[in-house]
Amino acid sequence: MQEDISTLPPGTRDITFAAPKSVSVLMALLPADDERSSKLFDSHDIAVDDTVAWLGKEAAFARSGPAFLDCQGLRCHVVRHHSTVTRQPHVHSHILVEPTVLGLDDRLHPLDWATFDHAMVAAPALYLARLRRELVNELGVTWSRDHHESEWGIVGIPDRLLAEWSDATCVLPGLPQTVAVSRSAR
């Protein structure tokens, strides 16, 4: 579902969930009409949606004085990209989080950003764990940690290719930057 996101309210925040570089390189190597390409994007979308749903459950609160108000989840829009603005492969989604939440009283209340920010500490790790699980289940990939033990990568993607496609001068002609303009996530 595409929506006009040009009219988002002031105070909307942009958070980003990005796949590891090896996932983006795999995406660039697969033909666009390959079923595995669809499974890769579906896996990313599932990981994003699950993480946003978790944030909606754990971080979508408003305050009324010292008390928290239960709410019906985050008001946000998801924009998925396949590449950077310079057309380097980069699977990532921007989640545009509106500054208000819908209370159980069906009224809009200001989002408690402090609670949201605390939950955001864990959100990237949740996204990456879900993405890894989905790609194992859907594509049968295996994962390993890099030599610094800091990042996960798909086994079999050559380091040379990862380095080359991390270079700002490497451009993939014909690679679309934005594929899904927007979808609401609540």
Domain annotation covers residue 102 = yes
Three-state DSSP at 75 gives coil
Q: Is the pLDDT of residue 183 over 60?
A: no
Please report which confidence band the pLDDT of residue 4 belongs to, taking 50, 70 and 90 as the band edges: low
| Helix or strand run (H / E) with residue 53 | helix 35-59
| Cβ proximity of 82 and 176 under 8 Å | yes
Give the pLDDT confidence score for residue 179 in this predicted structure. 47
Does residue 7 lie in a domain region?
no
Domain-located, residue 156: yes
57, 59, 185: which is closest to 111 by C-alpha? 59
pLDDT digit string, tens, across residues 54-108: 999 999 999 878 888 888 889 999 999 988 877 788 899 999 999 999 998 899 9
The total number of structural domains that make up the chain: 1
Calculate the CA 92 to chain-centre distance.
Answer: 5
pLDDT at position 176 over 60: no
Burial of 60 (0-12, 13-18, 19+ CB in 10 A): buried
Q: Is residue 5 part of a domain?
A: no
State pTM to two decimals: 0.85
- Tell me: pLDDT of 112 over 90: yes
pLDDT > 90: what percent of the chain?
58
Q: Which of 79, 90, 78, 69 is nearest to 165 (CA)?
A: 90
Any domain includes 87: yes
Is residue 55 helix, strand or coil? helix
The count of C-alpha atoms lying within 13 angstroms of the C-alpha of 156, restricted to the half-sphere facing its C-beta, is 7
Could you tell me which residue, 145 or 133, shows the higher pLDDT?
133
- The per-residue pLDDT for 169 is 53
* 6 within a domain of the structure (yes/no): no
Assigned domain for 133 exists: yes
What is the pLDDT, as a whole number, of residue 140?
96
The vertex-183 CA angle with 92 and 139, nearest 5°, equals 50
4 within a domain of the structure (yes/no): no
How does DSSP assign 126-184, residue by residue? HHHHHHHHHHHHHH---EEE-TTSS-EEETTS-HHHHHHTTSTT---TT--SEEEEEEE
Q: What are residue 61's phi and psi, to 5 degrees?
A: -130, 155
For residue 87, give its domain range: 13-174+181-185
